[in-house]
Structure 1
Amino acid sequence: MRIRLLGGLEVMSREHRQVRFTTRKTSLLFAALVLGGRRGYRRELLSETFWPGRSNEQARNSLRQALVDIRRSFPAGGDAPVYIDGDQETVALITGPDETDISIFDRKLEAGRTADLAFAADLYRGEVLAGEAIPDELDEWFGPYRSTYQRKALQLVERLSQALSEPGTAEESACEGLAERLLAMDPTVEAAHRALMQIHALRGHENAALRQFEACRALLRKHLQAEPEAETSSLAASLQSRQGSEHRRTTPGPDPVPQPQAISAPAKHHDRPSVAVLPFQNLSGDAEQEYFADGIVEDITIALAQFRHLYVIARNSSFTYKGQAVDIKQVGRELDVRYVVEGSVRRTGDRLRIAGQLIDTSTGTHLWADRFDGTLANVFDLQDQVASSIVGAITPKVEEAEIERAKRKPTESLDAYDYYLRGLAAFDRTVTNRSVIDEALRLFREAIERDPEFAVAHARAARCYATRKSNGWMLNPADETAEATRLARRAVELGWDDAVALTYGGYVIGYVGGDLDDSAACIDRAVSLNPNLAAALGVSSWVKVCLGEPDKAIEHATLAMRLSPLDPRLFAWQFNIGLAHFCAGHYDDAAVWAGKSLRHQLNYPSAMRVMAASQAMAGRLAQARETIARLCLMDPALRLSNLADVLPPFRRPDDRNRYIEALRMAGLPE
């Protein structure tokens, strides 16, 4: 192995001398090429990403110089195991299978034998490029690789700790070392705490295992204000039970010995929908695909757990059904869950097909089903894609089912969550019917009255005021703006770790309250907490437009639509793309996307304003005037003089000025 990326960048030449590149950018470019593998990258992408702000010619020249520097240490020709390959358009770093730690790590992980897992554990010395000074512009490039290998390390420490059968082995030592390194990087990693608990127990040191649990609990409370996961608490409870039974067997005399109080798993919250992801069936006839199937389940379970309105059963509980033919209704009763995710993995040659479905355990009804195809060459990318797609599809379906469940309940038995769901059903029907939005606001306030610390209800109530502002419905703008901002900031305060509360609270803080910086901070945190939350990405696209980042806005809205293609808020994300294209000067594209939004939400004033402005800037003044005529029928009081009351808080003055001027050209009255 010549190239190490896990735990920092270390490169050795063929003569086993340490390689030091001329510049830091060259070192990072080399690391990027290693991670990119044989598929490589387009030269244009590399030059623009690594040397932003320069002219195209200057950036391409910097790339060429960096590649010359790399070739100096790794010349091509003969039997060179590491060399640069490419043409005028693309460039790649070709490496042998044993030349980089990440390739060996992935191979050992896929092999899956205990000795291979131990070998992989020893290779993981830390995060990808740990300790390297990475410029801000390259954070987004390396961030996904860091996340991917960190996730693999967490899966690895879990698998290896469960595979240990006796103390004193090299595998035990490797597992312990990996767990300790993971905790040094992040002391709240519960998988590492559980691994150390299991190792202590394997050695017969139950007291040390329970001390590890107490340390875990203290660290979670200190850093996250959270309690251990059910899986961690369950392991501690079983260790206490074992310790207690051992004590009873060895203690003479009739006097009962006080036992430690059992540590129970967190109580289930039946006001929240509950989900279990069952083990996926391996239909391949290939035992090596078993790990891949289990990895998908692990990813889906972790991703679903990021949705705070869901109660997600821990993997260890759902995996008790592995290899069994199950009755879904029985599973629902035994795990006490409303919904179950099932799936399968089938391999044919180098092709993989993954199928998933969501089932209501009370009725056996299939609420959603889909399948995903890919190749073994991109097995981990496919795993991530499947997990995010399934999660993105499941959460709206669960929400729909919960809304229908709330509608069937008699009004005298409604609690805060049911009022919230009914408010959500009303709000998602339309944003152009004032009485419906008023009813949604009333229902959200009912939820808050029954639970004053219900963060998302505060955020959704605030969101109703934002809709009133956008439609020009505010009767007392000063009072309603103050109330909307109060609700939004209270939502953020109560739900700082709740991605949904941050999403809608952050939006209102920006649009109604006018504080774009706080708005962006809340929404960025929402995306960070739950990258699979389509609503967070959709609202992020809006704030990116306001900040003057139209390309990023389009990217986030597009991802939101991919995650939740049938979402009731689809029209808002399409509007955001239209607004982003307008700000970027792509007026025909802006009109197309505004039109898509209006097809999903007829008479949506925000989309109509973008449509009219885009048509005017594209020179289609007759169409623009027709659109303005329709808009004025809906909102007769709208004028250029009060347009500021409904406009987004654009950071770039040119975006705002062009928008206003375009609507003037379209015929909006003074």
Structure 2
Amino acid sequence: MLRLHTFGGCFLARDGRRLDALSGQRKALALLAVLAAAGEGGVSRDVLLAQLWPESDEARARTSLKQLVHSLRQQTQDPELLLPTAELRLNPMRITSDVHEFRDAERRGDHEAAVELYAGPFLDGFNVRSADGFERWAAMERASLARGFARSAEALAERAVARGDNHAAVEWWRRLANAEPLSARAAAGLMRALDAVGERAAAVRHSQLYEVLVREELGGAVDPAIAMLATSLRRAGPLAPVVTGTVIAPSATVAGPVSTERPTDRPAAASLPTQHPSVAVLPFVNTTGDPNDEPFSDGLTDELIGLLGRAPGLTVTARTSAFSFKGRGLSVRAIAGALGVAMVLEGSVRRTGDRLKVSAQLVRASDDRVVWAEMYLGTLADVFTVQEEIARAIVAALRVELGGAEIPGGAATAGEGHARLAGRAPASVEVYELYLRGRYLWNSRTRGDGLRQALHCFERAAELDPGYARIFGHASARGEFAAAKVADRHALALDDTLAEAHVALAHVLFVHDYEWAAAEREFRRATALDASNTAAHFLLAVCLQDQGRFEEAIAEVLTARALDPLSPQVGNLLGRVYVNARRPDEAIRHLRDTLELSPESDLAYQQLGHAYLQRGMPDEALAALRQAATLSGARDTAHLAYALAVTGDPAAARRIVRELLDPATNTSIAPFHMAMAYAGLGESDAAFDWLERGSAERAAFMDGVKITPAFDSLHADPRWARLLRRMGLTP
């Protein structure tokens, strides 16, 4: 029997003996690793082509895949190694893998089996040349599996403590701490366990070791909770309670962004493919100390992210992930490791009257070497030239292989370059500052009336300079889709190279007009203009999954996640696509990862509830949906009603429906979600009434009606096909 080993490396064995004939065939092993990690769901050939042959045209890539599959069957002397299905799958009767067994142990809650299988980081030290998609996939799988190992090890340690076996707890915590030396939770657990067995001196020594590791690896201060615990240990008094940060979220209290990953588990910059340069632009520091200048410094960062995103061959981390490290004081190496980039651009901005000073430097994460640095002095009116010069200098420093072509605008002079690279400059600094302030408020619109203020800034800027394309396209935020479409088309008439305007127009086209093909064309145009535009890939994934094109949607959302690895919204969408594709195991895994990033994500709990329903786990489903309802209110309460109805408690479901329809307690009724509740109750007439209303109103989430599993019971009704056709969808 063949067995693929992926933890701690990658090799194939037969009956316990390693097959050295395949050791040098990295793409063959990579193909097996991808299929093994996918399990019973398999992987579409299109996804494999994108991962393993990104630089080949489709015909050549398909030929290469066929040849590789044929070679594998010959080398292993097993013609039945792969199953002849639509999705490429390993034959479980012919080959097993540690990664598949690890996932299965996780699902069964067999933590001991999971920990024993984890022999080291997934595909540790294994890479494939000229296969950037595979490298990004492997880095994300590596981090996900490391988190799974940490969960299992911690569960075993806590069980040992609960039954009073402190010596066993020490061993489990030690195993976790050895694998994840920067984890604050592991450090605290081991220190407490050592103290419980009378080895307080060893506990203090571990706190000292942890402090050194954090300082050297992450360049920051130790978690205050760990410091408090260490102080209690040294004083030989009662131990201080320890509350450590979440596993990987940069906002957690652990002094580093990857508290459950050992250094080799992170997608370290040094191991990234040199053929595909990558950079994260960190928020430029506002050195004036005046909070009123914060929109300007953040805006300069946003602009640089956008400009660099248009450079062919350069991957640029999205704003959400880059800004999550603002003010954290972490080392470049730690941030690059968390984001999976080779280079980091950092800088500062200082305004004094109309004078401007901008300092910037590009740092290589592998050795902290500054590969480029510059200081710019001038007036506020020079900011456009400064942005242009920094962007071009970064591209030159990274030696991006452009096949003889320059980034948009070519190697123009600074004075004319910005007009072609970033579109026409605004008519005045006042217009530009209104635009930047609007962007700043837009990105922080969860605070009070930030959205209203942002729109006011955009509208005022438009009055002063109606020819500045970038200030249009925000009308949809008010729910004014018709006005939004007019604004988006106006922006594109002014500048057809504006990727964000294509994205905004595409969004209106599919969620309001149900013009699916036209929306996809706009999204494709946006990604062609700016391959690093996360919103384009994110919303294109939604558009594709709404039509039932799940494999294409997954490919787009994985691209978005590679660009924005710390975005809970992207993680939520990935889980949602897997739920709608009826692949609950993968949905559960990714949604759990998302909740580690964002423990109060209502959408993650909502989709986790539906994934548990598909897995036949009603108690877990109801618990997740109750948490979602607590966090979000009426929307997810309707989902809870659906779950109660389909798990045997229609009376409770009807009570919730009555409460939702009571105007005294709920003034906002969402048709899509009410229809779901009625579908669960088996009341198809009421469900269709709400769906018809939702379609007419262009209500939220209605674009996804076709692929939502909760509506499966309605498919046989003739009204279903008529509804879909009116929405431009095929039944």
The reply to whether TM is greater than 0.5 is no
Q: TM-score range by the shorter chain?
A: 0.3 to 0.5
- Of structures 1 and 2, the larger Rg is shown by 1
**Greater RCO, 1 or 2 (C-alpha within 8 Å, sep 6+):** 2
TM-score, length of structure 1 as denominator length? 0.41
TM-score, length of structure 2 as denominator length? 0.38
